[in-house]
Structure 1
Amino acid sequence: MFHWRAEILPGVSAAFTDAGAGNLALHVGDDPVAVHERRARVEQSIGVGPRALRFMNQVHGNTVALMDAESPAPDADAMVSRGLPLAVMVADCIPVLLAGESGDGPVLAAVHAGRPGIANSVLPAAVEGMKSLGASRIRAWLGPSICGSCYEVPAALRDEVCALVPATRSTTSWGTPALDLPAGARSQLEAAGVAVEYAGACTLETETLYSYRRDRKTGRFGGLVWCHD
């Protein structure tokens, strides 16, 4: 069920699911009842209540939603909370989980960092959202995503993104233009003073993970961050 799982701060854990947990997304043509059942199994496995995980309607933008107990699912690509369990879904984009400390307890964030999000600085925006809730000593965990040796793009698109985030410039293992989204994410986080504690495997190269580049009709795995006793 989990590709990776760890306690990242005292009382705070993070995890990235794999294909064994099944598709967790409602927007890919799957049976909604089956999706909610899978989400419930994931919630049970991490020890949070039914429907406790907050999911976004991800739109490849840079909107950051500050979540509280009454917040509906936002149209956004980042959520920030004072300890509410958060989830992000991907199948090649980077699921980024962040945690920081504040006088009122942990501040958490989950970010959908695809090519448009990296280009439009969704990660720095999420960090600022965390700081607005008093977070300090923020750290990040980058889940599995397509790597810079596999993410082939047209040369013009590479140049467009690299003009905004130079660290994303890459070349595929077969010699064509590419983007390295994890390198871009790392550069933006480091510039914001955020330490990257973990980076996951390449989704395209890992059969136990969903990859849209490998199979256009595919599910989504999740990045999860939550508080516990």
Structure 2
Amino acid sequence: MASESGAHFAFTDRWGGVSAAPYEELNLGGAVGDDREAVLRNRELAAQALGLDASRVVWMNQVHGPDVTVVDGPWPTEADIPCVDALVTTRRGLALAVLTADCTPVLLADPVAGVVAAAHAGRPGMVAGVVPAAVRAMVERGAEPARIIARTGPAVCGRCYEVPAEMRAEVAAVEPAAYAETSWGTPAVDVTAGVHAQLERLGVRDRERSPVCTLESHDHFSYRRDKATGRLAGYVWLD
């Protein structure tokens, strides 16, 4: 967990939870086949470790799209959770969460304006512009790109994310910075590089990228590596 100017950013690994294989241990995703009670307990454990109240963490049903929802409190019921890939809030103390297992988790904060966002940027979402959409929603609520702090968490790296050549060309036509090659010389996509290029163009300068590749790290969940697996989470909130 990192804290900067009253903004807090945190990314989980897979350890310290109660889920059984193949979701061991700290699976925070509720739609991957894990026992529901185990997931809820894991969310409580993660929140406690971060000094958060689990009931004040806002989740989303992620669908690899560009849509953003602005929230001012937890969802009343699970049925109220929207199908979106980014959340924005101006409510201090309310934590926004994003689930991943190879996709890029993007956490954004402007502590001066008092606005934060969490976005899920897989390859389709990055191409669709979910991160620029989240930044626009923040700006509409008083944020300034030059003040926004951006942190991206563990994700599959461009050296490992092999794709067909046609797919790489399609992605690069939208975001050239995502063009990549695997360590074994085949076409690849670097989603995190694409996200950072988008943020750079928007004027977001304070950016950091996790060095962790989820596919390479057995301390992290990776869908591409394991298929049946858990989900990591990224959290962002303001004091």
Shorter-chain TM-score bucket reads over 0.9
Say if 2:140 is the partner of 1:132.
Answer: yes
SS at match of 1:19: coil
Amino acid in the other structure paired with 2:71: M
Asked whether the 8 Å contact 1:142–1:196 carries over to 2, the reply is: no
Structure 2 match to 1:51: 55
* Unmatched segments (≥5 aa) in structure 2: 17-25
SS at match of 1:217: coil
Match of residue 3, structure 2, among 1, 7, 15: 7
Show CA shifts across 1:61-87 (max 9, x none). 000111112654221000000132100
Distance across 1 between alignment mates of 2:4 and 2:124: 28
Q: Percent identity?
A: 48
Shift, 1:178, TM fit: 0.3
Distance across 2 between alignment mates of 1:173 and 1:91: 20
> 1:101-116, aligned counterparts within 5 Å?
101-103=111-113, 106-116=114-124
Say if 2:28 is the partner of 1:24.
Answer: yes
TM-score, length-scaled by structure 2 = 0.89
Show CA shifts across 1:83-136 (max 9, x none). 321000000000010001345xx2110000000011011110000010111112
Match of residue 218, structure 2, among 198, 207, 215: 207
Assess, with a 3 A threshold, how the Cα gap between structure 1 residues 50 and 150 changes in structure 2: closer, same or farther: closer
Say if 2:61 is the partner of 1:40.
Answer: no
Distance across 1 between alignment mates of 2:181 and 2:206: 23
Q: Tell me how many residue pairs correspond in the alignment.
A: 221
Say if 2:85 is the partner of 1:77.
Answer: yes
Structure 2 match to 1:195: 205
SS at match of 2:15: helix
More strand by share: 1
Distance across 1 between alignment mates of 2:149 and 2:124: 22
Match of residue 109, structure 2, among 93, 99, 110: 99
SS at match of 1:24: coil
Distance across 2 between alignment mates of 1:36 and 1:6: 24
- Considering only aligned residues, what root-mean-square deviation do their CA atoms show, in Å? 1.3
Which segment drifts farther, 67-76 or 51-60?
67-76
Distance across 2 between alignment mates of 1:70 and 1:25: 17
Asked whether the 8 Å contact 2:165–2:187 carries over to 1, the reply is: yes
Distance across 2 between alignment mates of 1:29 and 1:80: 28
Which segment drifts farther, 69-78 or 35-44?
69-78
Distance across 2 between alignment mates of 1:28 and 1:45: 23
